[in-house]
Structure 1
Amino acid sequence: MPYEWLPPEPGPDGPHHRLHLWPHRSLPRRGFVLFIGATAALIALPLLVVIGSPVLWGLLPFFCLALAGIWIALRRSYRDGQILEELRLTGDRLFLTRHGPRGARQDWEANPHWVRIERHEKGGPVPHYLTLSGGPRRVEIGAFLSEAERLRLEPELRQALSARR
């Protein structure tokens, strides 16, 4: 599941709860290596027929370009998917930090007593879009989660917040 509640940490004002959210990776690192290897083998298979002929040297650059293109596209996908959202709930503050791709960081904080969780069935970028409001602005949480995961996350967030009120 692309989110998890970490064990509470003791704090001077009670336990601090933490939630980590990240995008689902459908192709793990090991799968990446296997996919590139299988693609190289399947593309190279027709080249076996032309080994020893000058046609091989005409086809080889296209083989290398295709493999390099797949490699670059998958690496870019991995880099763009390096997102981590961290929600920390202390005694009197709620912090949401989003670590985006290429080191971008966004912070938001509010008093948990005033934070409202809103689910937007329609009208957001994704169905059942979750937002937190109560500070200086409204922020999204878990937009990269699947619809079912957002529906599961909402009551868990409400329960964690109600325990702080």
Structure 2
Amino acid sequence: MSAAKIAPPPIDVGDAEPTLYVARLEPYRSLDERGFLIVMLVVAAISFVCGTTFLLMGAWPVFGVFGLDVLAIWWAFRMNFRSARAREEITVTPSLITVLKVDPAGRAAEARMNPLWTRLDKESIEDYGLQRLMLRSRGDGVEVGGFLHTAQREELADGLGSALSTAKRGVVRSAL
């Protein structure tokens, strides 16, 4: 997961709106493609050695079962890597909140909200921390950071809360 990043302080560039907050969220995966290859080679080697041992003892069907195990592990990792393609992009400006959600298949859904009418709802469980984070505007809600760890979700909540309060308070634009 790319940690939520707060945009630099707003800079007035003519009529362009300052960005109050930007976050690009991605699910964390500890195993990269190289690590996956190493794990699969080790699993395949162990399965081949064990399967060959059973084959030499006369239990030839076990050799195929070890092959199916390797195939099942490979498939599970592939599905895990596929789900890692999901992401969320959140941008807050003084007049617009944009939440872009991209699912693992690449389908995108975008929600746009006015920050003046948007509130941040937090669902917490005392023993487990922040469990759910929703941006609600005029009855519609969008869950954000659903795949994040609790501490990362709290960091996102702090950043979004700060950006929302800044947008509601109003951004001072200086005329040079």
Same fold (TM over 0.5): yes
- Structure 2 counterpart of 1:149, from 137, 141, 152: 152
1:83 to 82, 86, 89: 86
Unaligned runs of 5+ in 1: none
The aligned residue for residue 122 of structure 2 is: 119
1:92, CA displacement in angstroms? 1.2
What residue in structure 1 maps to residue 173 of structure 2? Answer: none
Look up the match of 1:5. 5
Q: Say which of 26, 32, 51 aligns to 1:28.
A: 32
Deviation at residue 37 of structure 1 after TM alignment: 1.2
TM-score (norm 2): 0.77
The 1:50/1:61 distance shift into structure 2, 3 A limit, reads closer
Match for residue 100 of structure 2 among 97, 101, 108: 97
Contact 1:2–1:145 (8 Å) recurs in 2: no
Corresponding residue number in structure 2 for 1:161 = 164
Taking the aligned partners of 2:87 and 2:167, their CA distance within structure 1 comes to: 24
After superposition, the C-alpha distances for 1:30-73 in whole angstroms (9 at most, x for unaligned) are: 2211211111122122245467x594864432232211111111
List aligned pairs for 1:36-115, cutoff 5 A. 36-49=40-53, 53=56, 55=58, 58-115=61-118
Residue in 2 that maps onto 1:140: 143
5+ residue gaps, structure 2, are: 169-176
User: Aligned partner of 1:4: which letter?
Assistant: A
Partner Cα separation in structure 2 for residue 6 and residue 149 of structure 1:
13
Counterpart CA distance in 2 for 1:88 and 1:135 is 19
Deviation at 1:143, TM superposition (A): 0.9
Q: Report the aligned-residue RMSD.
A: 2.7
The alignment covers a number of residue pairs equal to 161
103 and 136 in structure 1: CA distance in 2 versus 1, 3 angstrom threshold: farther
Q: Which amino acid aligns with 1:60?
A: F
Contact 2:91 2:99 in 1 (8 A): yes
